[in-house]
Structures are given as C-alpha cells and as structure tokens.
A and B are shown apart, each in its own frame.
Chain A
C-alpha cells in the first residue's frame, strides 16, 4: 500500500521540521518527505489541507489490563482507543496478571498486539519477580523477549538495598529503569494530596514529601549505580526542581508527567470526585504550574497518558476505596494541545513531548518522520475543536473527569506502520 499525505503542515520535532511538506509512504515506511520519489504512484492520497501532520504519538505508560484484568479492559479495546487517540506506540505497564516478569507473557502480549495491528504495543518488564519488590526479575530474558524497559509499576520495592541491586542488574543489560517516586511509608493509606482540600474533606493524605524523599533517594542511587533511571509520573514542584538540578549537574536521568497532572489540581477532588482519584494525587496549582514549566524547559521530556481503565464498580465506592486512575488514551493529544492554546508550549514543543521526547528516552526509532522511519502518523486539524463524550469512548474504561471537556485538534487520521488504523470519517 502506498499513501501520499499532501498539503499538510508537517511537524517532525525530532528533526526541527515545521513546514508545508508532503509525506510519502510505501509499505511500512516513509519513503519521501516533500516531493514524491520518481514514478511514485500513491494508491491513496490524503489531503491534509489545514491539518498538522505529526509523527504518531509515543506513550511511555499505559495499563492495558490484559492478561488478567479483562473485566477492566482488553488489548483489543485499548489498541483501538490508542489508534483513535493518535498513539502508535504504547508501552504497557507490567502490572498484568500474570505479571510481565517472564518471556512467555511478553510473547503473549506481542503476539496479540501484532494480530490486532492497531498500534505498536511494547512491553515494560517487571523490575522484581511478581512485582513483589523483593527478588529481581529475569531481566536478561525479558530484554531478549523484547521488553524495552523495566519497572515495578505502582508497587513499592521492599528496601533501598533491593532498589540498588535492581538498578545495578538492569544496568548490566543497558535496560532503562522506570521508577515511580513515592515513599511507601509517607504515602501510607493516603488517597489525596495533603493540602487544603484533603484537610477539609478529612481524606487520608499523601504529603508532597512522599515524592521528594523518594526522588532524593532515587537520584542518589542513580548516581551511585550509573543506571539509566527514568522518573515516571511526577506530581510535585520539588521533584521537578531536584531532577532539573541533577540533570544540570550531568546526571543522565529523565522524567515524564501524566497529562492530567498538567490540568487538574487538588481542587478537582472537592466534593469527593472519584474520577479525580489518581496516583500520585493531584497537587496544588503551584505544583501544576511548576510541572508545566518543567515540560516547557525539557526537564520533563515526555507527557504520558498514564492510562488506567477501570470497570464502573471501581469508582462506585466512597472516595478512599475507589481505585485510582483515569482512562485517557483518547485525551492524551487533546490535553497536550490545550497546553498550546494556554500558551504553555508552542506546537512543535508540545508534539515533541508526546513523540520524539518519549521515544528518545528509550532510544526508540519511533516518533519521527524521516525517510526510512516507520510510517506512524497522526493527522489532526488544530482549528477543529471536539468534545469528549464518555459514552463514545473506545476504551473499555469510561473513567474520566474530562467528560464534556472541549479539546482542540480533532484527529482525522492515524496511520500505523503505513496503514490507516483510524479515520474520523468512519467514526
């Protein structure tokens, strides 16, 4: 299949391209940017006039629930949601059942993903066996099976010693370790930010220090072990500042933030809104603004979905008993583009944070559009606004606080490996 995408504004942040350029695809790859190759005859021509032609999005963390939690979501439903959200590469978290701590589970997921053909599903292996935080996983085998990173998902590690050993062992194989910085003792049974709202609502609270204490510890161990450490899902000003300082001092650590943390605050939890029960918790406006600045200056190089689809029952309980997380593959681009509307980021930088930024953290060849790149493309109309209707979401999880929100940038097409996997006209 050959496709030409013509008349669009091509933005390829990895190569600093932002220009009126056509894109030509043959088979699974980009064959030309600008003029078509001689004698190139496209079987389909997509007229992208007025639209932005961007690399497909790369999402570093989504919980896809299969195998084991099919009552929440399945690979099929979430792959379709990713395609609709313009996401062409997604790393699934290892918190499946069984856990992604052996090559059989990795192969199962990869095989199912290939069959679906909707988006590229990559796997994050477990850092410890069963995510129990005590014994190291078979990282060499996981890497060989195709895991592109290792993490302990949201489960804590038993001790600082286990963390040190895990970092050293991962570094042996050049595996990047994703860490979610949270001190388990300071977190305790908390479910909301320790601030004005949790105080008023009497919700068990998580102090900001739960994150900064962990970041300080993790930075010290990253420096000591020289492992590749990537901080997942930051929520506080102090964490962003510490990581910025460590980067400035030459430590090769990276960080991401969940898209919702750049828009929501503790105020949104008011009235016990369980859709805003997330982990780490929504913090203050000051934290949100600091995270926005850290995204703008590159301290935080990736914006993630941190997708957590749930069955309705998971949120139908008193707030502290609800399960944390938002189903948000379909709003990752929308939330990112809102930052452009709010003048936090310019459009190429915003797109970098959801394409080449996350890809570069792991050295992946995706999230870019040069000749020879896999033909993963997201085409959207930046002028065209759309409203999220939760009942029309493709994800199995309808848990989102963004129902009824207005988003810029309606996606018209998503191409994955040279094939159109989403077309707004068919939706």
Chain B
C-alpha cells in the first residue's frame, strides 16, 4: 500500500503514525534528536535549519503543553510559528475542516502541526493539504501520537541503550490512548523483546493481540521483571462511563507504588506521558523517586520534535524547490 508518510525517495514527508515506518527511520529520528539534545544547554539555543519557514500549530483540541513544546522546537529551528486554537465549537458553527484548512493554507505555511479529537484527522489533513505542506500529527483521537512515542523511545534509549533485550509494560487506559498505540508500534518496530499491557478489561482493547502485546490484568504480574514501566494517564471522564467503579479502587489495583515496583527489575525506569494524576496512576514516592524519568521525557520532547520537523522539511527539498 502507498505510504502517505513517505515521499518517493522513502523519506519522511508527513509524520502521522509510527505504523508503516521502518526501524531504520525510527533510529534516524532518534539519532537526529540526539544531535539537538545538547542545544538547550548552550548559550545560543537556535540552529538556522528552518529559517524562513512558517510552521502552523493547528490545535482543534486544547493542549498547552504539547503545543508549547512544538512551538519551542520550531523556534529553536529558527522557523516562524503561528498558533491556531480552533475549538470544536467554532467548526460546528459551519466551517468545515476542509474550509479551515484552505484558509490557513492561503497563509503559506510549510508545515501543519495538527491535534484533533477524531481518529484519522491527521491523515485526512495530509491527504487534502497542498503537496508543499508537511503534516505532523500531534495527536488524533485514540489513534496516534507519534512524537510522544518517539520521545519516549528517546528516553528509553538514553537509559537502556539497546532496545532488543527490553521488556516494557504499559499500564492503564490503553483502550482510549493514542499514546499507547504509538508506543506499542514504536517498541515493536524497534525490536524490544516483549510489550505488555496491564489494566482491567474495560480499559484494554478486546483485540489486543492485533497490537502485538501480551495482556495482563494484575499489576505485579504485569510489571514483573520489566525494564520499563509506562504509566498512562487516566482521564476523569472514565469514571462516568461504567468503565471503573472509582479512582480509589483503580489506585488500589493499578496505582504504582514503591512496593509494587519491586516486582520490576531493580534498574527499571518509570515513565508517564503527563499530565500525571498523583495518587491515581502513581504515588508521589514513585513519581519523584530515583527511577522516575518523567521530567526528562518533557525536555527530550523538544529535541525529538525538532528532529521530526527538520526531517519532514528536508524531504520537501526533494520536491524540487529551494532546499
């Protein structure tokens, strides 16, 4: 099948999902990110790679944090950034997504960073945008959040080096999580030895095997001897849909505590894509403890987003215009 994300030279044109990308390409993203990771420590924090380029953040769903890291990444690449926060209510007033897209295209953007509440929205925009625009998916519905997954991979590599011997457990609401879907794809593409998902059946997809994971319902069992524990955020609204009785029982069964973490490997790291609910997904002891790498994830996020943006923009040079 034609891969929308790659140009005819196999280079990254859009970054919509991890699915369909090769191990080599994922490693290239990580290596490129590595070269940017040192920048924040330097007195001059910018590189001129995307000077003169316009990057538009198209956020149909609110997210200050993700938008800010994308904005920072773009600015460190010397691009100009426009932010559009388009609440869903504005689009329901009559303007279709396609009309919104055409309007913003008329402002000569080179890249759209898109977040949308519907699965497939980033694909839709990539299919309908002008060929001179690259689309980066900053999260679409329950489908994908590939830059988050890559920053998690970056964090794992920083701490563990080689992916192949690793066992990784993803704990919590996998069913509704675009982060988990992208993480699972990335981990499997990078060749880890095992990916596990852990949670009550109401929060795990019924066809989990289609994702290439092992399913656990008991936290201690699920994280036994793993190298990496990834805790997912539990959205408040999950309590309303008969998915869980209450937060108290969730924490009692699936909340990560120092005691529970003992079944993982002694050097296991603990991750969370944020924003974290202390006392629901994990104890403060764990979140602030020596094995937590949660804050590193955030700072690595900038380097990874710089890598993806610069790679996607470089592939536009293949189109023939100015490099």
Contact = CB atoms under 8 A, between A and B. Distances in A.
A204 B178 CA distance: 12
A203 B118 CA distance: 8
A195 interface: yes
A201 interface: yes
Given A319-B120, A319-B124, A271 B1 contact: yes
A319 B96 CA distance: 14
Contacts of A203: 119-120, 141-143
Interface stretch (A11-19, A214-222, A301-309, A310-318): A310-318
What interface size band does chain A fall in? 20 to 34
A196 B119 contact: no
What interface size band does chain B fall in? 20 to 34
Interface in A171-188: none
Q: Which of B1, B178, B210 has the most A CB atoms < 10 Å from its CB? A: B210
Nearest to B128: A316
B280 interface: no
B119 A313 contact: no
Given A318-B140, A320-B119, A321-B118, A199 B124 contact: no
A194 B4 CA distance: 25
Interface stretch (B33-41, B147-155, B201-209, B249-257): B201-209
A199 B206 contact: yes
Interface string A193-237: 011111111111001000000000000000000000000000000
Contact of A195 (B1, B98, B144, B207): B207
Contacts of A196: 207, 210
A199 B208 CA distance: 7
B259 to A, nearest CB: 33
A204 B142 contact: yes
A40 interface: no
B215 interface: no
A272 interface: yes
A312 to B, nearest CB: 10
A186 to B, nearest CB: 12
Given A194-B207, A203-B143, A272-B124, A319 B119 contact: yes
A320 B19 contact: no
B14 interface: no
A318 B120 contact: yes
A317 B96 contact: yes
B167 interface: no
Contacts of B97: 317-318
B181 interface: yes
27 contacts: A194-B206, A195-B207, A197-B210, A199-B205, A199-B206, A199-B211, A201-B143, A202-B119, A202-B140, A202-B142, A202-B143, A202-B181, A203-B141, A203-B143, A204-B142, A271-B1, A272-B119, A313-B98, A317-B96, A317-B118, A319-B118, A319-B119, A319-B120, A320-B118, A320-B119, A320-B120, A321-B118
Q: Which 5 A-B pairs have the closest CB atoms?
A: A202-B142, A196-B210, A202-B143, A272-B120, A318-B118
